[in-house]
Structure 1
Amino acid sequence: MTRFPLLSRFGAPLLPVLGLLLAPLLLPGCGTKSDNEASGTATADSVKAAVVDTVKLKMEAMRRDSLKADSIAKANGQLPGALLPGHRIVAFYGNIRSKGMGILGREPKEQMFRKFAGVIKEWEAADPSIPVQPALHNVTITAQGTAGKDGKWRLMNSKATIEEVISWAREHKCILFLDVQPGHSTLQVEVPKLEQYLKQPDIHLGIDPEFSLATMPGIRPNQRIGTLDAKDVNWTINYLARLVSENKLPPKVLTVHRFTRKMVTNYKNIKLDPRVQVVMHMDGHGNPVLKKDSYRDYIQAEPVQYTGFKLFYEYDGRPKPHHIMTPTEVLTELTPKPLYIQYQ
């Protein structure tokens, strides 16, 4: 959830793929006895079990999977089951346990889904050339106003809440994004907490640099805009790519929120993998003129792969005469046309 104003000038059915399993570990085989063994004078070294470097084997398997994925993508444009660019994802964002974080939790469930159905029709009418994939985007690990027992300033939704939002998504034929605001923790610590859910083919991931403050000791969330580096994004891409290979999944979509330059540093060093589709998502609110400036300066001018754009029900229309941009305005006034659209 974005709480900072913009700075002027400062987004189908899934098909399981990639049956890429890790190679089995090779254990030492039986051989002939050495002279020492035959004479009954075996040394400790001669009977010590050979050490298997499981980390090295796993890395080699991941490299093989990556090369195979690259070859498929080069031959066919992308991997089977990939959502982008063949769909436009339109998402409602928030937290189902919070009325203040976005439209997803602000209104009663059925009322919210009726509103969502109307939004989907608007996007289908604005661009009939591309199918719309509805999505829910639930902030699942949320930056907090208090440090907590471990001093990390973040809190994860309960299992019951996560399972409930999964059921909402599937009931309404939506894919689901689980969003991570790491606070003073890191993606490397927080994202694996969601692995049991990310192993499912219809669940994807969002990461929010605004609330990533591990490099800013003593700063409370909302006091300053946080940051992630390309190395953090690359770690996340590699993590998701491994899950895709190990669990025979279609490519994952990874959304990265951004509305200032410093939110994502060294963007040119982000390394893409066909098993993960990266959306750089313009996440700012306010005057449409400033929103378009930010999209041009931080999304269009610093391209990674696919693009996203957020619309705020509460903030884009304030103060008047500001308004929430329509689907037609978004598509005609932004270049490239975003393939991920998010409503907060």
Structure 2
Amino acid sequence: MAALGLLAGAAACSDEVGGPASTPSPTTAVSSKPSVPATTTPPPGPGDLPRGGRTIFPKYQLVGYVGLPGSPALGPLDKDLDKKAASLETLSRTYAAGRTPQPVMELIAVVAKGTPGKDRLYRGRLPDATIDEYLAVARRHRMLLLLDVQPGRAKILPEVKRLERWLKEPDVGLAFDPEWAVGPGQVPGRVFGHTTGAELDSIASYLSGLVTANRLPEKVFVFHQLSRRIVSNEHALRKHPGVVTIKSVDGIGHQKDKVETWSKLTPNLPPGVHAGFKLFYTEDRRHGTLMTPTQVLSLKPRPEFVVYE
């Protein structure tokens, strides 16, 4: 992931609710009033996924776009959301290969920043109204919404719990990008962040509790990883009822390099952890060509979530 490009998008977020990091764009302005859902489109039934049923795999093949409002460098979901949703729908069908395509919108709800902000936690948060807007679009197109957290110096679990209002919904999951989870005295983009299997397990356990308490269908939990040093003691991550955990391998570069990263990070996955694969429209093409769906699906194990940034 391009560090400078990601950090450039942080200006669209606030440091804390009600405290702008900089002058927000009109679509991401922070309001002191409670947010109002952008549409009356109802959620799926309390026990249903957007396209039916309660379980993700093996029925569905997940295919997603990443994005942050007003930041095209961070993926396709920057604007024109209904148009992008239609494009994602078409793309997802090319990955079906015997499964039902389930498109996924991965919204960067908490973004790492290169500046400290008022609380000196080096992260910005999207306004509630913006998350509601993306959820409304996802529901119009029967898509899953993933809320992606890049916490900077903030602790990851409190950032996740702050999103509970949405995570209690049947069609909203979570993504965590530990590359941007740095320690005290560190700055995102200057060093790689880090997490542990135990920390990932605490997140999965929390999500499992939400699923049980609210009688939800399976909830997707994605953690992104681009090198071995990003996650230590990965096997401390255990399987939790109602949570579908996916490791998204985020290697950047020539196809050979991406496949090499895949071969390093997917053997001996913890029990119950599924494999995912990320493609970068700009960076991958800069190093060669974008891998085709056929090439991606030829990877072993099969990537069950393919996401484009």
Does TM, scored on the shorter chain, surpass 0.5?
yes
Give unpaired runs (5+ residues) of structure 2.
Answer: 5-43
Match of 2:15 in 1: none
Verify: 1:176 aligned to 2:145, yes or no: yes
Match of 2:254 among 279, 284, 287: 287
Match of 2:47 in 1: 16
SS in 2 for 1:317: helix
Determine if contact 1:2/1:284 at 8 Å carries over to the other structure: no
- CA deviations 1:251-274 (Å, max 9, x no partner) are 211001001111111011111112
Match of 1:255 among 191, 207, 222: 222
Give unpaired runs (5+ residues) of structure 1.
Answer: 5-12, 18-79
Q: For 2:89 and 2:235, how far apart are their aligned partners in 1? A: 37
**Pair 1:284–1:3, CA change in 2 (3 A):** farther
Determine if contact 1:206/1:255 at 8 Å carries over to the other structure: yes
Verify: 1:116 aligned to 2:94, yes or no: no
Q: For 2:172 and 2:248, how far apart are their aligned partners in 1? A: 18
Q: For 1:103 and 1:143, how far apart are their aligned partners in 2? A: 18
CA shift, 1:15, in A, is 6.6
CA shift, 1:248, in A, is 0.8
- CA deviations 1:30-85 (Å, max 9, x no partner) are xxxxxxxxxxxxxxxxxxxxxxxxxxxxxxxxxxxxxxxxxxxxxxxxxx711123
Q: For 1:152 and 1:212, how far apart are their aligned partners in 2? A: 10
Match of 2:297 in 1: 331
Verify: 1:98 aligned to 2:71, yes or no: yes
Q: Which runs of structure 2 are paired with 1:226-265 in the superposition (5 Å)?
A: 226-265=193-232
CA shift, 1:236, in A, is 0.2
Verify: 1:312 aligned to 2:284, yes or no: no
Match of 1:205 in 2: 174
Determine if contact 2:144/2:172 at 8 Å carries over to the other structure: yes
Determine if contact 2:112/2:123 at 8 Å carries over to the other structure: yes
Verify: 1:139 aligned to 2:108, yes or no: yes
Q: Kindly, what percent of the aligned residue pairs are identical?
A: 32
Query: Which stretch shows the higher mean deviation, 96-105 or 298-307?
Result: 298-307
CA shift, 1:3, in A, is 3.6
CA shift, 1:218, in A, is 1.9
**Pair 1:258–1:2, CA change in 2 (3 A):** farther
Q: For 1:241 and 1:118, how far apart are their aligned partners in 2? A: 32
Aligned-residue Cα RMSD (Å) equals 1.8
What TM-score comes out, normalization by structure 1 length?
0.73
Q: For 2:261 and 2:213, how far apart are their aligned partners in 1? A: 38
Q: For 1:172 and 1:86, how far apart are their aligned partners in 2? A: 19
Determine if contact 1:281/1:299 at 8 Å carries over to the other structure: no
> What is the one-letter code of the residue matched to 2:197?
A
SS in 1 for 2:192: coil
CA shift, 1:110, in A, is 4.1
Determine if contact 1:14/1:202 at 8 Å carries over to the other structure: no
**Pair 1:285–1:274, CA change in 2 (3 A):** same
Q: For 1:248 and 1:131, how far apart are their aligned partners in 2? A: 23
**Pair 1:336–1:343, CA change in 2 (3 A):** same
Which structure has greater strand proportion? Answer: 2
Q: For 2:269 and 2:240, how far apart are their aligned partners in 1? A: 18
